[in-house]
Amino acid sequence: MSSVPSSAAPAARPLNRSDYKTLSLSALGGALEFYDFIIFVFFTAVLSKLFFPADMPEWLRQLQTFGIFAAGYLARPLGGIVLAHFGDLLGRKRMFTLSIFLMAVPTLLMGLLPTYAQIGIWAPLALLALRVVQGAAIGGEVPGAWVFVAEHVPPRHIGFACSTLTAGLTVGILLGSLTASLINRVFTPEELAAYAWRIPFLVGGLFGLIAMYLRRWLHETPVFAEMQLRQTLAAELPLKTVVREHRPAVILCMLLTWVLSAGIVVVILMTPTLLQTLHGFKPAEALQANSLAIVCLSIGCVLAGWLADRIGAGRVFVGGGLLLLLSSWTFYNSLASHPELLLPLYALAGLCVGMIGAIPLVMVSAFPALVRFSGLSFSYNLAYAIFGGLTPILVSLLLKWSPLGPAYYVGALCLLFILIGGWLWQRQPQAVAG
């Protein structure tokens, strides 16, 4: 397993002012970009009415709108591969800035789109095209951000840097949730359908452009700059090298992405709906509990990365997997008999999901610098497209068998997390610890 060396950043030095500026601007951009990607799902109901024929059955409108949302996920692997290819050849910073531009502009244009009543079938087609561009952008942003900050900081702080980035992405989900709640509270359903649905898209697009401008102050990573100076950049297609020479690393990163997607998709994104449909919680109660869980998730991410730098990612995987297994089982198993414990139990589960914050340390260390962006992006985005799409289906099937279906699914992935952690702990403690 590769390390992430940097001649410009000796391993022994502490984080300096420049490091913190890099982390802050990267996390801010990541949060705003994830907000732009996720805000679509919070307004699915109103978009389905505005961008499809009025005489279309409600279920079909909803299905087609969710299909447009899913198209963003399907575009992730292609976008991630293309952006990563040029990131390995032209520079991390250029692609890091381009990804946020490709997210901000479509989000802004979504807020300006004519509806079906104005331009007919071109309205959903335009919405679909913009969503595909968003998916391509997010495919490059997440792995690109991890690589960017990992190559800026000293090796002994890579876990903390990458987990801070991951926490920023989860804050983007929280911003989307809170914005949707505010818009629905301030405006009537009629106002929302008439014009107010555009506000979160316009605001997100403008903030994204501001974040892109702020990223101008970031510098190219010392690792890439050194490769440029020594003229040791990839001589062939980076992805070809990844598939031919780094298949074990690809498999490891795909399995870890499966664990990561299970924690985020099931515990954070799906559970608010399950709280309402299975346990009768009001939407406001579910949203409040979910917001608290996301805050705890962000804290847990940073804590996990900080611990991984000190005791090794393998140990964090083992301990974090056990904690998530216990907390998620207790959470889902107690809701029916103890609904008054919703807030503390969901908060605890969110905190333990934060143990995924140690995952990026292993993923960025799994590939050499020459093909790091391509290897990480290919593994992460392919796995997320597969497992992120299959997870809701698998959980729904488990729910037909048992109301504890989400707990069984998360529990199974916790066991995988623990097994990988044990393997890393025994086999490669030095590499995992950075």
Instruction: Pick the range with the lowest mean pLDDT from 193-207, 357-371, 380-394.
Output: 380-394
Is residue 102 scored above 90 in pLDDT? Answer: no
pLDDT band at 221 (very low <50, low <70, confident <90, very high): low
CATH number for the domain harbouring residue 383: 1.20.1250.20
Query: Is 9 part of any domain?
Result: no
User: Is the model more confident about 39 or about 215?
Assistant: 39
Count of domains in the chain? 2
pLDDT of residue 224: 62
Query: Is 343 part of any domain?
Result: yes
Question: Could you give the residue ranges of the DSSP H alpha helices within 90-121?
Answer: 92-110, 116-119
**Token pair listed for 431:** 């590499």
264 plus 411 within the same structural domain: yes
Is residue 391 scored above 60 in pLDDT? Answer: yes
Domain boundary among 233, 263, 298: 233
Task: Using the Cα atoms of residue 77, residue 79, residue 81 and residue 87 in order, give the sign of their dihedral.
Answer: negative
At 75, is the secondary structure helix, strand, or coil?
A: coil
Instruction: Pick the range with the lowest mean pLDDT from 227-241, 252-266, 347-361, 401-415.
Output: 227-241
206 plus 240 within the same structural domain: no
162 plus 79 within the same structural domain: yes
pLDDT band at 6 (very low <50, low <70, confident <90, very high): very low
312 plus 353 within the same structural domain: yes
Domain boundary among 203, 233, 263: 233
Instruction: Classify residue 74 by burial, with Cβ atoms within 10 Å: 0-12, 13-18, 19+.
Output: middle
- CB-based contact 132:163 (threshold 8 Å): no
337 plus 411 within the same structural domain: yes
User: Is the model more confident about 170 or about 301?
Assistant: 301
Which residues fall within 8 angstroms of residue 81, CB to CB, at 6 or more apart?
A: 139, 239, 374, 377, 378, 381
- 288: containing domain: 236-434
At 237, is the secondary structure helix, strand, or coil?
A: coil
User: Is the model more confident about 274 or about 312?
Assistant: 312
Dist CA 379 CA 261 (whole Å): 13
Q: What is the mean pLDDT of residues 231-259?
A: 80
Encode pLDDT of 64-84 as tens digits.
766 776 677 777 777 777 776
Q: What is the mean pLDDT of residues 273-300?
A: 85
Is residue 202 scored above 90 in pLDDT? Answer: yes
46 plus 94 within the same structural domain: yes
pLDDT of residue 321: 94
Is residue 95 scored above 90 in pLDDT? Answer: no
263 plus 215 within the same structural domain: no
Share of the chain above pLDDT 70, in %: 85
Query: Is 189 part of any domain?
Result: yes
Domain boundary among 202, 233, 264: 233
298 plus 161 within the same structural domain: no
Task: Using the Cα atoms of residue 220, residue 222, residue 226 and residue 229 in order, give the sign of their dihedral.
Answer: positive
Query: Is 6 part of any domain?
Result: no
338 plus 408 within the same structural domain: yes
pLDDT of residue 58: 66
Is residue 261 scored above 80 in pLDDT? Answer: yes
Is residue 374 scored above 80 in pLDDT? Answer: yes
**Token pair listed for 198:** 């555009």
User: Is the model more confident about 238 or about 335?
Assistant: 335
210 plus 347 within the same structural domain: no
User: Is the model more confident about 319 or about 100?
Assistant: 319
Residue among 380, 382, 373, 381 at smallest CA distance from 85: 373
pLDDT band at 430 (very low <50, low <70, confident <90, very high): very low
192 plus 167 within the same structural domain: yes
Query: Is 382 part of any domain?
Result: yes
- CB-based contact 287:268 (threshold 8 Å): no
280 plus 149 within the same structural domain: no
Q: What is the mean pLDDT of residues 227-236?
A: 56
pLDDT band at 8 (very low <50, low <70, confident <90, very high): very low
Query: Is 7 part of any domain?
Result: no
Dist CA 89 CA 241 (whole Å): 13
Instruction: Pick the range with the lowest mean pLDDT from 17-26, 187-196, 206-215, 224-233.
Output: 224-233
Which residues fall within 8 angstroms of residue 58, CB to CB, at 6 or more apart?
A: 48
Q: What is the mean pLDDT of residues 256-266?
A: 90
Query: Is 200 part of any domain?
Result: yes
pLDDT band at 433 (very low <50, low <70, confident <90, very high): very low
Query: Is 10 part of any domain?
Result: no
Is residue 12 scored above 70 in pLDDT? Answer: no
pLDDT of residue 434: 34
Question: How many CB atoms neighbour CB 367 within 10 A?
Answer: 28
Dist CA 294 CA 290 (whole Å): 6
